[in-house]
Amino acid sequence: MSSLDGPDEDDPRGKPPVPEDVQEAVRTLIRWAGDDPEREGLLDTPKRVARAWKEYCQGYTEDPASHLSRMFEEVGGYDEIVLLKDIPFQSHCEHHMAPIIGKAAIAYLPTDRVVGISKLARVLHAYARRLQIQERLTAEVAQCIWDELQPKGVAVVIEASHACMTARGVRTPGVNMVTSRVMGIFRRDDKSRQEVLKLMGY
Ligand SMILES: [Zn+2]
């Protein structure tokens, strides 16, 4: 037995075993879609699909806030916006379990502490690797940074395309959904909000 993505569960590399009921669920779905799960090309598919879903949903095993636990309090008098933009991410919509593919911009205005810039992306991924709706993903990322860093302001803008809309339903490729959540000074003060959105390219 060989397959393109390498040997399977009995193999010494030791991929995690997939319970029979999970495999059977995938076979049921294949049958429901109109194919035969016993045909050769589909024999290993249930295991692959199951493992892929564990990976897509890895965020359930992570505490997003833990990525922000290491802070730097020495900010050298820096009191301007910190922004990470064009962060690519993938998620899955909770209504169709279809891919959501997009990019995020995450900004905050520090009070007295900052984090390593890559940590903002880690927070995003920890929430994105779950079944999501884009609105909640946006709000959760903003809230997590707000709670952990206690900054003067947080702004998160997410732009994504939803396969449940581009590949099925109204089938409109090229359409992006944009969601934003602004907190603190970015919410209260028009000028600050405009500044951060402009830096983000909006
Ligand atoms: Zn959907």
Give the Å distance between the CA of 1 and the centre of ligand 1: 36
Q: What total number of domains does the chain contain? A: 2
Tokens of 71: 């802070």
Considering the domain boundaries, does residue 64 fall inside one?
no
Asked whether the predicted pLDDT for residue 126 surpasses 90, the reply is yes
Cβ within 8 Å of residue 72, ≥6 positions away: 113, 114, 115, 116
Asked if residue 96 belongs to a known ligand binding site, the reply is yes
Considering the domain boundaries, does residue 147 fall inside one?
yes
Indicate the pTM of the whole model: 0.90
Give the Å distance between the CA of 157 and the centre of ligand 1: 19
Residue 184, by phi and psi: left (phi above 0), alpha (psi -120 to 50) or beta? left
Asked whether the predicted pLDDT for residue 7 surpasses 70, the reply is no
- Enclosing domain of residue 19: 1-56
CA distance 67 to 69: 6
pLDDT-based confidence at residue 6 (cuts at 50, 70, 90) = very low
Cβ within 8 Å of residue 77, ≥6 positions away: none
Q: What CATH number is associated with residue 46?
A: 1.10.286
Radius of gyration of the chain (CA): 21
